[in-house]
């Protein structure tokens, strides 16, 4: 994917999903790959699935946020930021 070979990259991550469909890490990478090829709705769905299994997965949360921004869903992305920042009172003061 990073080398611009998106079709090959998607085939590899989809194969990884077939081999280990319960791996949270693989699902996180799958969500990121989907976002990378512009399949933002699918990326959000995969990221949500990851977070339902592991609520503190930063990669999934970041992928979800990036997909929202790419879609132009700025209000939703801002709400995610506010939720994350609310956990850190010092950060909210700035």
- Asked whether residue 32 is assigned to any structural domain, the reply reads yes
State the total domains in the chain. Answer: 1
Q: Decide if pLDDT at 85 tops 90.
A: no
Q: What is the DSSP letter of 4?
A: S
- Asked whether residue 19 is assigned to any structural domain, the reply reads yes
- Asked whether residue 54 is assigned to any structural domain, the reply reads yes
Q: What is the DSSP letter of 38?
A: T
d(CA 57, CA 67): 16
In sequence order, what are the residues at sequence separation of 6 or more whose Cβ sits closer than 8 angstroms to the Cβ of residue 34? 40, 42, 43, 46, 67
Look at residue 94 in the predicted model and tell me its pLDDT.
Answer: 62
d(CA 1, CA 9): 5
Q: What is the pLDDT of residues 15-39, one digit of tens each?
A: 999 999 889 999 999 999 999 999 9
Indicate the pTM of the whole model: 0.83
- Asked whether residue 1 is assigned to any structural domain, the reply reads no
- Asked whether residue 68 is assigned to any structural domain, the reply reads yes
CATH number at residue 84: 1.25.40.10
Phi, psi of 86 (to 5 degrees): -65, -20
Q: What is the pLDDT of residues 33-83, one digit of tens each?
A: 999 999 999 999 999 999 999 998 999 999 999 999 999 999 999 999 888
């Amino acid at each position: 994917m990073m080398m611009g070979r998106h079709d090959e990259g998607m085939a590899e991550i989809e194969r990884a999903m077939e081999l280990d469909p319960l791996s949270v890490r693989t699902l996180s990478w799958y969500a990121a790959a989907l976002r990378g090829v512009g399949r933002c709705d699918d990326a959000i769905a995969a990221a949500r699935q990851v977070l339902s299994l592991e609520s503190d997965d930063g990669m999934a949360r970041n992928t979800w946020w990036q997909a929202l921004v790419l879609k132009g869903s700025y209000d939703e992305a801002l709400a995610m930021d506010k939720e994350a920042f609310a956990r850190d009172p010092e950060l909210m003061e700035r």
